[in-house]
Structure 1
Amino acid sequence: MASILIIDDEKSIRKTLSEILSYEGYKVEEAADGAEGFKLFKDKQYDAVLCDIKMPKMDGLEFLEKAREINTDVPIIMVSGHGNIDTAVEAVKKGAYDYISKPPDLNRLLITLRNAMDKTNLVTETKTLRRKVNKTQEMIGTSAPILKIKETIEKVAPTDARVLVTGENGVGKELVARWLHELSNRASGPIVEVNCAAIPSELIESELFGHEKGSFTSAVKQRIGKFEQANGGTLFLDEIGDMSLSAQAKVLRALQEGKITRVGGDKEISVDVRVVAATNKDLLKEVEDKNFRLDLYHRLSVILIHVPSLNDRREDIPALVEHFLDSACQEYGMARKSIDKEAMKALQQHNWSGNIRELGNVVARLVILSGKTITPEDVFDYVLPARDKKKVNA
């Protein structure tokens, strides 16, 4: 249900507009002057605003200017009985979506509102599409480990050397793989991702190498595997430490010979693929425990890149928080929020067991649940686990 804010010092006008818009299915809130309306606008999210021009405390044009400073996406429709052409032109120049004279023609008002909603939806869809197109995010941070990783990527990416990326869950191993692809000579080709931990061991070979029709009970048609899909590009094998030994043997052969054979087939298919692998496990320990092939380890680890945990690069947290603040506010259509210095300090001191993935989720939570400025109290209420709160209160 779309939410509309009505700002007008005439109670009868507010009541009439509120009744009409409520009947049309809108959720309506009212403010009796510009100052009250601006406070609501700062603290809440609206799909459109109907604003009078002549009001006490803060007039409509001043409200318009201040509102545009914190959110340019919400359409603001000016409604006034004291206006003229010059006032209408000034309002539109300052960012008003439209200008309607009092008493408003209800049909025109409803059509204008509907068009404003369509514009808001288009803006939201455009931002979503841009995020999808620009899927590879920048690598944020100026700590020594991150600068070293960026330097290594720049050196290694133009080559076809295989890379093994290690690090805990949530540190950004996929981002490293994507930048290796983006800066490589294969950037115009595909990057195909396989989460080896998410695929049952009995299906991993079919997933990687494909299968022929009738090769097993459910193989009702031929399937092209990930190696073939990534031909000319990059194959990212995430969580490779969870791959079965039989699949490891076939991957080793594919890397050695540049050829694969589909499950149930006998034809060798040449593939030109650069493999980047990632794991949160100690693969040499897995080799000792006979869970991972030593020869495959050596094939994959021509270049080793270790991504540190967030707890080992706390100096990067402020930049990451600001990045996630921007992303979350855009995603949820909210005005940009700021964060108190003490709140930022509290986030830097937090134990980030889930690393950057956890930090992103926490910032999104704070954006949704906090006021305009994120405070230390917000961090205490929405970030600290219950056991840590007990320690603080003890």
Structure 2
Amino acid sequence: MRGRLLVVDDEPGVRFALKVVLEDADFEVEQAADGVAALERLDADPSIDLALVDVSMPRLGGLELLDRLSVRQGAPPVIILTARGSERLAVEALKRGAIDYFAKPFDEDELLRVVMRNVVTSRLHGEVSRLRAALSLGRTMVFESQAMARVAQMVERVAGRDVPILITGETGSGKELVARALVAASKRADKPLFTLNCGGLTDELATAELFGHTKGAFSGAIRERPGLFVAADGGTLLLDEVGELSPRVQSALLRVLQEGTVRPVGRDESRSVNVRVLAATHRDLARDPGFREDLYYRLRVVEIRVPPLRERPEDIIPLARHFANRAADRMELGPMRLAPALERTLVAQPWPGNVRQLEHVVHALVALSHEAEIGLDVWALANDSSAPVRPGGTLKARVDHFEAGLLREVLDACGGNRSEAARQLQVSRMTLVSKLKKHGLD
């Protein structure tokens, strides 16, 4: 097979004719009747090498589809199909990102030459882009999978565009690392980056953290606080778990994004701020009735989805080796390696806590191991919360291991009820959530 193509045209006869010609040339061909159907097809199967798109279609035409694809993660290159004499539309399509165009009715030999040339070029560009993106993200992220390579390509494409970006993905999948990679490759790389975890914050605390307050603005405001929008002026603000914000705080956040100004609590005048906002969430905000639709679209100029670890098992071993080396360095130990049997066991795990859970598990394996090679015996110990930490482990490693085991025990006893677990441990729910996240148990 020479490649996978998507033919998008509202005329069934044209789609059929193209399908016959292209399949005879050993291409695999998918079809869509308009731009909306094309987007649905790409959602279901993003591995299309090239799309042939008619310029004039109902619901969503070729030019509009190009606009949608220009900010879409892993979108295929597009050849526009036009009627003869429609050079103006072809030029406009090229301006919007099409890589080539072809006039209908088509000559079969010429069509195949155009398609073959562009499939080869597309694959070469894709490989170069993947390698460049992997290199640029190498300081921040460890991956070998195509799924994360597509994330890297998207980061490279949009990092320099000074627009809000919504990073979605399951808890622990690496959303914050993607955010830091975006900042590192942006025009604001040398400016401040501030992060706020919105989970568990009361309205008052979230408002104070984001927008600031004057001294005496409310009970307990013993000093003036500028707020993160002011502190991040000129730089970037990452709102982690933005879906946890209350409707009242969402409204205030929307106003800042719309007006570019912020007014601290207790102050009459507003001040202008120039902040790029990145937001991260594990929720489907588009379907969340508690999240403002207008704020969602403000934050989601571009969306980057970080796949869970189970969708990219190729990354488990390189990540585990990376975490083992880093943990050994922090504990001032010699080089550590993972036994092949242990690596196979790690790959077989479901990892509901994703990369964060893998990191904490490997950290525990290093802390428990008495040998340079970590084997299945250590894996068994790590899954026993009463297992002793290696004598050479640091105090922090010992405390972390005990704390993680205690949290697991109490949560199990409470049936996963975090509020009850927090009550039994005599800590606030926010503290419990923070500790669960720290140990990859959330």
TM over 0.5: yes
**What amino acid is the match of 2:316?**
I
**What amino acid is the match of 2:337?**
S
**What is the aligned counterpart of 2:170 among 168, 171, 183?**
168
The equivalent of 1:353 in structure 2 is: 352
Question: RMSD between aligned alpha carbons?
Answer: 1.7
Partners of 2:321 and 2:168 lie apart in 1 by 26
1:207 Cα offset (Å): 1.1
Tell me the TM-score normalised to structure 2 length.
Answer: 0.54
Aligned 8 A contact 1:347 1:379 in 2? no
The equivalent of 2:147 in structure 1 is: 145
1:216-231 equivalences under 5 Å are 216-231=218-233
- State whether structure 2 residue 369 is matched by structure 1 residue 375: no
1:167-316 equivalences under 5 Å are 167-286=169-288, 289=289, 291-316=290-315
**What amino acid is the match of 2:310?**
N
Aligned 8 A contact 1:137 1:175 in 2? no
The equivalent of 1:318 in structure 2 is: 317
Partners of 2:158 and 2:385 lie apart in 1 by 41
Aligned residue for 1:141, secondary structure, equals coil
**What amino acid is the match of 1:322?**
R
Partners of 2:318 and 2:236 lie apart in 1 by 29
The equivalent of 2:157 in structure 1 is: 155
Partners of 2:155 and 2:187 lie apart in 1 by 13
Partners of 1:217 and 1:333 lie apart in 2 by 47
Aligned 8 A contact 2:169 2:175 in 1? yes
Partners of 1:212 and 1:273 lie apart in 2 by 21
Listed one character per residue, the Cα deviations across residues 30-84 of structure 1 (whole Å, up to 9, x for unaligned) are xxxxxxxxxxxxxxxxxxxxxxxxxxxxxxxxxxxxxxxxxxxxxxxxxxxxxxx
**What amino acid is the match of 2:227?**
G
Listed one character per residue, the Cα deviations across residues 12-45 of structure 1 (whole Å, up to 9, x for unaligned) are xxxxxxxxxxxxxxxxxxxxxxxxxxxxxxxxxx
1:199 Cα offset (Å): 2.3
Aligned 8 A contact 1:191 1:235 in 2? yes
The equivalent of 2:94 in structure 1 is: none
1:302 Cα offset (Å): 0.6
1:84-95 equivalences under 5 Å are none
Partners of 1:205 and 1:180 lie apart in 2 by 26
Partners of 2:223 and 2:324 lie apart in 1 by 46
Aligned residue for 1:193, secondary structure, equals strand
Aligned residue for 2:144, secondary structure, equals coil
**What amino acid is the match of 2:152?**
K
Which has the bigger relative contact order, CA under 8 A and spacing at least 6? 1
The structure whose Rg is larger is 1
1:170 Cα offset (Å): 0.8
- Relative to 1, partners in 2 of residues 1:321 and 1:384: Cα closer, same or farther, differing over 3 Å? farther
Partners of 1:236 and 1:202 lie apart in 2 by 19
The equivalent of 1:34 in structure 2 is: none
Partners of 1:323 and 1:376 lie apart in 2 by 19
Listed one character per residue, the Cα deviations across residues 229-270 of structure 1 (whole Å, up to 9, x for unaligned) are 000000000010000111111111111111111112111100
- Relative to 1, partners in 2 of residues 1:384 and 1:166: Cα closer, same or farther, differing over 3 Å? farther
Aligned residue for 2:350, secondary structure, equals coil
Partners of 1:284 and 1:240 lie apart in 2 by 13
Partners of 1:188 and 1:169 lie apart in 2 by 28
The equivalent of 1:27 in structure 2 is: none
1:381 Cα offset (Å): 3.5
Aligned residue for 1:217, secondary structure, equals coil
Partners of 1:375 and 1:383 lie apart in 2 by 13
Listed one character per residue, the Cα deviations across residues 282-323 of structure 1 (whole Å, up to 9, x for unaligned) are 11221xx2x110000000001111111111111111110110
Partners of 2:337 and 2:218 lie apart in 1 by 57
1:373 Cα offset (Å): 1.1
Aligned 8 A contact 2:368 2:381 in 1? no
> In the comparison of the two structures, how many residue pairs are matched?
248
Partners of 1:236 and 1:201 lie apart in 2 by 18
**What amino acid is the match of 1:271?**
V
Partners of 2:264 and 2:378 lie apart in 1 by 54
- State whether structure 2 residue 363 is matched by structure 1 residue 364: yes
The equivalent of 1:37 in structure 2 is: none
Aligned residue for 1:231, secondary structure, equals coil
Partners of 2:321 and 2:149 lie apart in 1 by 19
Partners of 2:141 and 2:153 lie apart in 1 by 12
Aligned residue for 1:323, secondary structure, equals helix
Aligned residue for 1:277, secondary structure, equals strand
The equivalent of 1:339 in structure 2 is: 338
1:383 Cα offset (Å): 4.0
Identity of aligned residues (%): 41
Partners of 2:216 and 2:381 lie apart in 1 by 57
1:385 Cα offset (Å): 9.4
**What amino acid is the match of 1:242?**
E
Tell me the TM-score normalised to structure 1 length.
Answer: 0.61
